[in-house]
Amino acid sequence: MPIRRVRAILALVVVGVFMTITGTMAIYPLLGKTNVALNEYADFFSKTASVYTGIIGVIIGYYFGRSEETAPKDIQKGAVQKVKEE
């Protein structure tokens, strides 16, 4: 399996888990049988979501921060020429 496909699958899994956790946390006060103090829960939700967002950023930065493949020479030359023209 090519590395690009592994990275794409990994990214989808990580983002999917993040969205599932965030969605569950957002819907819990609406569907839960217990009364939840919304102001306190909103503070808890924002703190928890910020922690998860940081973790997601570290994971994606680690796996996708650097590409092992280089662009073909003609694409690199075209990018340099466009910068020189501007």
- At residue 70, the pLDDT reads 59
Q: Can you give the pLDDT at residue 25?
A: 83
| Percent residues over pLDDT 70 in the chain | 72
* Residue burial 42-81, b: 16+ Cβ < 10 Å; e: rest: eeebeeeeeeeeeeeeeeeeeeeeeeeeeeeeeeeeeeee
Q: How far apart are CA 60 and CA 10, in angstroms?
A: 9
Residue 18 burial class via C-beta count within 10 angstroms: exposed 0-12, middle 13-18, buried 19 and up: middle
User: Which tokens hold the place of 6?
Assistant: 């592994």
| Tens digit of each residue's pLDDT (9 = 90 or more) over 32-51 | 777 778 788 888 888 888 88
Q: How far apart are CA 24 and CA 2, in angstroms?
A: 33
Give the mean pLDDT of 13-30: 85
